[in-house]
Every structure is written in C-alpha cells, then in structure tokens.
Amino acid sequence: MTLPRIDPEEAIHPFEYARIIGVFHVDVVLNIPGATKEPESYQVIWVRRYRIDPTYRAGFEHKRLYRLEFIPSSEDDAFGFLDPDEIIRGSHLIPGFHYGSTEDLLKGNTVAREEGELDDWRYLYVNFFVDRDMYMRYAGGGVGHYSIPLPENRGSVPPAEPEAVEEAEPESPDKENSSTVPIDVQALLAEVSDLQGEDVEPPIDSDDEELGEESAGEVGEDDDELDESEGDDGVGPDVDVQGGVDLEDAEGYAPL
C-alpha cells in the first residue's frame, strides 16, 4: 500500500494498492542536462495495480471493508514501477469468494500471477482490522503515521453546527398593539378617597339574611323569658334582705 499519486484531497481513497511482480536493481545513466555520466544504482519494484471499486460503498460509516479489483490490462495504468521508499507497509487482502474468479482482467499465462494461475479473484477486501497499526492508519491519529486527509465516509463525521436561533426583541410599550395598559395613579387615589368617605354596606347573601332572622327571633324569645323570670323572682325593694339566704337556696341566686 502506498500514498495516492494524485493530490490526496482529490483522491477518493487515502491509499493505493498493488501486487508486487518483481524487485529489480538497475544501474542507470540519466540523459538529462547537468547529470553525471557515471551510472547510478536504483532499486525499483514492478507492480500490478489495484483500484477501489467505485460502485461499492465501504468504510467506517457503512460498516464495510473497502473492496478492490485489478485494473484491466488494457488500461495504461495497470502496471508500473515504484520506489521502495514509497511503500508504507504490506496490506492484508481477503478474496471475495462469493464473486469467484475471472480471466477478463488479464488473459493467459503471465508473470503477473503465481506459477500455474490462469485467473484472478474478481474482488478483494482490504482488512484494515488486521492489527492496531493498520487500523489507526484508516481511523487517523496514529503516532508517526503519514498526515493524510481521510475520506468523509470514514465514520468520524464532525458534529453539525447548531442553527442560529433569532431572539425575539422585547416589544416597546409605545407600540399601538402593546398589551401593557398605563395606570393613572392619581385617578385611583381619588376614587379610593371617595369610597372611604361614603358608608357602604356590604351586600348580604340570602343565607345570611335567614340566619339573621332566626338569630333575632331566638334573641327575642330569650328576652321574653328573661323578663318573665325577672317579674316572678320576688326580688325588689319590698323584699327583705334577711331572706336572701332562703332565696339563694330556692332560686339559685341572691338579691343584690
């Protein structure tokens, strides 16, 4: 696996994948102005490239492994050479057994396959859970890892900004439709003064009137009985005070 050859911000995936066909050591004389005529040694890796299946949704957001397929041999980008320093690490690929194999991507016997193989797996899945280091390369934040922009579907979506809420402005009391009623304090004080100067009888309910009549009748009867008892007690200016003891015993009270 390597970094993408194009601008990472334009790439649909943070990495590129390839199968190693061979490792070569070459001595090269660069035919460019200012270059030395002495041969220089280079190490190159011959690879057959994969590409991300654009029809398959994958990643942390979709809870699926990324799916690869070989680039058809008819395309110019199917094979290439890499500088060994471009390789990040080996990747763990799992064949998509359900889809089987195909010969359409590369016909016949070729050095691009293992000896005896005549076809290729139609799809392969990138197992980024193979170890912690591999996982952090896709999740991001690994110490010492390449700083690369990760695709939006990696599952770490930034929180949406809260929508701005417009606060309602308090209505002015001067507006015509204001619900606030102005209070005339002087008029209220004058009205209270007028009420205090008049004798206002509180209204009496019908129940209170009946209760008052019954109470008045009972009071009248008690007064009559009291008058009769006062008339029959025999106590007056003609009564002998010496008989007060007998009167107290008979009537329950003594003359004053």
3-state secondary structure at position 79: strand
Residue 23 CB-half CA count within 13 A: 5
Please tell me the total count of domains within the chain: 2
The confidence score (pLDDT) of residue 159 equals 42
Residue 101 CB-half CA count within 13 A: 8
The confidence score (pLDDT) of residue 63 equals 92
Q: Indicate whether 24 and 134 sit together in one domain.
A: yes
The confidence score (pLDDT) of residue 239 equals 47
Residue at 8 is within a domain: no
Residue at 169 is within a domain: no
Q: Indicate whether 255 and 147 sit together in one domain.
A: no
Q: Indicate whether 35 and 147 sit together in one domain.
A: yes
Residue at 4 is within a domain: no
Q: Indicate whether 148 and 217 sit together in one domain.
A: no
Q: Indicate whether 31 and 128 sit together in one domain.
A: yes
> 142 φ, ψ to 5°?
-70, 135
Collect all residues with Cβ–Cβ distance below 8 Å to 239 and sequence separation of at least 6.
247, 255
Residue at 93 is within a domain: yes
Q: Indicate whether 30 and 131 sit together in one domain.
A: yes
Residue at 230 is within a domain: yes
Contact 110, 119 (CB under 8 A): no
Residue at 122 is within a domain: yes
Instruction: Note down pLDDT in tens along the chain; length 256 residues.
Output: 999 888 767 778 889 999 999 999 999 998 888 888 889 899 999 999 999 998 999 989 899 999 999 999 999 999 999 999 999 999 999 999 999 999 999 988 899 998 888 999 999 999 999 999 999 988 887 777 765 555 544 433 344 444 555 555 555 555 445 455 566 767 777 777 776 665 545 545 555 555 555 555 555 555 555 555 554 454 444 545 455 555 555 555 555 4
What is the span of the domain harbouring residue 96?
18-154
Contact 202, 209 (CB under 8 A): no
Q: Indicate whether 105 and 31 sit together in one domain.
A: yes
The confidence score (pLDDT) of residue 35 equals 85
